[in-house]
Structure 1
Amino acid sequence: MTLLVKKQARERDREVVERSSNSLEASGMADKLAPEKRHSFTHNDQKVFEWDQTLEELNIYINLPENVPKKLFYCTIKSKHLEVGIKGNPPYLSHDLSNHVKTDCSFWTLEDDIMHVTLQKRDKGQTWPSPIMGQGQLDPYATDIEQKRLMLQRFQEENPGFDFSQAQFSGNCPDPKTFMGGIRST
C-alpha cells in the first residue's frame, strides 16, 4: 500500500514538473504579449489610478499618500463594486465596476507606496473599457488595441507551441471572449 502511494506521488510530481516547464516556455511568449503600458485615469488633472488587463485579470495601481501607516489602508472587493480608502476617513474610491469579478480570486497588496488591486474577471477574455463604470473609458482606438492584444493572448494560451508575439490583425479585431465559440476552459 505504501509503495503504491509513493508511486502515485512520484507520478504527480513528474506531471507538475512537466506542466511547469511547459509554462516556462509559454511564459516567454506571455511576457511579449503582456500589457506594454498602463492606462491612466485622471480626475481634475490628478492621477487617480493606473490600470491594465490580461485575459483573466484587471489590475489597478493606486499611489499611496506618504506618512500614513500601511495598516490603515483598506480595500473591499465585491462582485461589481470596489472601495478603497484609509480607515476612519471617507473612501478614496467607491465605485461600481464595469463588469463582474470573482471575489474569491480577487485580492489586494501593498507594494512599496502602491496599492495593487488584482480583480479576477468573471468572464475571461472580456475587454474592459475601464475598471470603473462610466469613468475614464478608453477611446475606440485604445479599445481596439487592447482587444487585439487580448486576442493574441488567447491564441497564445490555446496554442502554446506557436509564437504570436509578432502577429498583427488587419481591420477590426473580433471579441476575444466570443470569437470562434468562445474561450476554452482549462
Structure 2
Amino acid sequence: MSDPKSEKAYDDLTAEEREVVDKENRAREEAEQAALPYTWKQELSDVSVYVPVPPGTRARDLDVKIQKKRLSVGLKGKEKIMEGELCQEIKLDESTWTLEDQKTVYIFLDKVNQMQWWENVLTHHPKIDVRKIEPPNSKLSDLDGETRAMVEKMMFDNQQKQMGKPTSDELKKQEALKRFQAAHPEMDFSQAKIN
C-alpha cells in the first residue's frame, strides 16, 4: 500500500507538509547532483560547468567538443567523463572551455534562450526543480535606464496599491483632468469618472 500523503497533490498539502516534501526533494536533488562527474551553476543567460580531471592534465591531453546541442569532455584515448545532448541550445560562438590549474575543465555555455532556467546540463542526467531557483537580487543601478525606470514605476505602483492610493497612471489621469477643468471652468465635471 502506498503512502497516502505522497499521493496528495502538492497544492493540497499544509505548509508544514510542504516544508517536509521540499526538504526531502532538496536532499534527493543534492545527492543526485553530487553523484555527477561534474558540478554546474547557472544564471538566466549562461551555464558554467566544472569537470575535474587528473592533476597535471594539460590542454592537449583533453578531448572537449562543444556543439549547439551536444557536449563531450574526456581525456584523449580514454572513456568520456561526460557526453550527451544538452538540455537546451547554446550559442556556439560565445561558448568556450579552459583548463584551470591543470585539474579542472571550466566550460562556459551561453544560452540561446536567456529567459529559461535549465533543469540539467545533459538530458540523461537528473533534473533540478527550476521552480525553486531564487535568482540573485540585482541592484537597480545594474539596470539600463529604460528598464530601471520601468521597475521603479512598477515598485511605486505596487506600493501605492498596498496603501490604497492611486497608481502613477491614475495620478496622471487625475492631473490631466485637473488641467482640463482649469482650462474649461464653464464645463460641469461633477459626474466625471476616471477609469
**CA shift digits 1:24-73 (9 cap, x unpaired):** xxxxxxxxxxxxxxx96858x74411101112111100111134433201
1:127 alignment partner in structure 2:
117
Judging changes above 3 Å, is the alpha-carbon distance between structure 1 residues 56 and 67 closer, same or farther for their aligned structure 2 residues? same
Answer yes or no: is 1:74 the counterpart of 2:63. yes
* Structure having greater relative contact order (Cα 8 Å, sep ≥ 6): 1
Partner residue of 1:98 out of 78, 84, 87: 87
Query: For residue 85 of structure 1, what is the amino acid of its counterpart?
Result: G
Tell me, in whole angstroms, the C-alpha distance in 1 between the residues paired with 2:31 and 2:69. Answer: 19
Bigger proportion of residues as helix: 2
Residues 77-105 of structure 1: CA distance to partner in whole angstroms, max 9, x if unpaired?
11110011111223221110110001111
Greater C-alpha radius of gyration: 2
Paired residue secondary structure (1:104):
helix
User: What is the RMSD of the two structures over their aligned residues, measured on CA atoms?
Assistant: 3.4
Quote the Cα distance in structure 1 between the aligned partners of 2:80 and 2:64. 9
What is the total number of aligned residue pairs between the two structures? 121
Identity over aligned pairs, percent: 21
User: Which of 145, 150, 154 is equivalent to 2:132?
Assistant: 145
Counterpart CA distance in 2 for 1:108 and 1:70 is: 10
Higher strand share: 1
- 1:110 matched to 2:99: yes
Which residues of structure 2 form unaligned runs of 5+? 1-28, 152-195
Stretches of structure 1 lacking an aligned partner (at least 5 in a row): 1-38, 164-186
Cα distance, 1:78–1:40 mapped onto 2, change above 3 Å: farther
2:52–2:105 CA contact under 8 A, matched in 1: yes
